[in-house]
A = this chain, B = another copy of it.
């Protein structure tokens, strides 16, 4: 695979993450003295205009068909269901030899579909940049900070080692701190906990308090726990339902722990409560 600087890169979908990736790619040129050519398509013409005006992309399209055949590298920044429909619709339009990657928050169905249906002359490395923002949309792309964050890859058996090496290198140059490579299954199991369960909890916390002036009594904890309740509704609905088996298992585990703590509090079991909180404190402190 040729260097990024010589690639035509296409971003499909200029939402929060597509926009943030465009920004990160624009910051890359320092070494070669220039970046690669970056194209983007989005169904919203206004977003394309804004991205062109901000010089985040070199060319923009509202029709993917006008762009896909030129791209050596593609970032598909779409919700999972839209992504699968997009791949199905445009499978014949990609440039031969292209490397495609995505950013969707679940990987099982995508990995499975791509193993089965991807054209022989293409490569697809499923990815998940672990950096978001409760503020959605292209206009908030700047609030999405990649520096030092995790980026998960769930390679397919068919992925070419040189493509993996290319993508790892590009991810590091975009500022990410840690690249985790695992299976789609493990990704979905872990993400059900670190991401989806946390969003369900934040939503439940807001659901159970109707008083919006409650923040007069806030000291930071409530604000931190519920910031993500300002969620991208269509995307999270899709993620929750698509990964529902793992998510339900995690919700039940959490309910078990919550019920245990509730029991200690209700029973006034000071010694056991103290011991449990001490163990929690130690475990969380050892998480880096």
A contact residues vs B (CB 8 Å cutoff): 130-132, 149-150, 152, 178, 180, 187, 190-191, 193-195, 197-210, 212, 214-222, 224-231, 233-234, 236-237, 240-241, 244, 247-248, 250-251, 253-262, 265-266, 268, 270, 273-274, 276-281, 283-288
Contact = CB atoms under 8 A, between A and B. Distances in A.
Given A178-B216, A217-B187, A217-B191, A251 B240 contact: no
Given A207-B276, A212-B283, A248-B265, 13 more contacts: A180-B217, A203-B280, A205-B257, A207-B257, A207-B260, A208-B256, A221-B228, A231-B280, A231-B281, A233-B277, A240-B273, A241-B265, A255-B255
Contacts of A205: 197-198, 201, 254, 257
B217 A152 contact: yes
A219 B284 contact: no
A288 B229 contact: no
Contacts of A276: 203, 207
Contacts of A190: 214, 216-217
A124 B216 CA distance: 23
B152 A226 contact: no
Nearest to A186: B217
18 contacts: A131-B219, A149-B220, A152-B217, A198-B205, A198-B225, A200-B265, A201-B258, A203-B257, A204-B254, A226-B287, A229-B284, A230-B284, A231-B277, A237-B273, A240-B265, A241-B268, A244-B266, A247-B265
B257 A258 contact: no
B237 A277 contact: yes
Given A233-B274, A270-B237, A253 B214 contact: no
Contacts of A202: 221, 225, 284
A130 B237 contact: no
A261 B206 CA distance: 12
B219 A195 contact: yes
Contacts of A278: 233
Nearest to A275: B233
A230 B131 contact: no
A197 B261 CA distance: 11
Contact of A261 (B149, B204, B210, B214): B204
A36 to B, nearest CB: 26
Given A261-B204, A274-B234, A130 B217 contact: yes
A217 B150 CA distance: 7
Contact of A274 (B237, B285, B287): B237
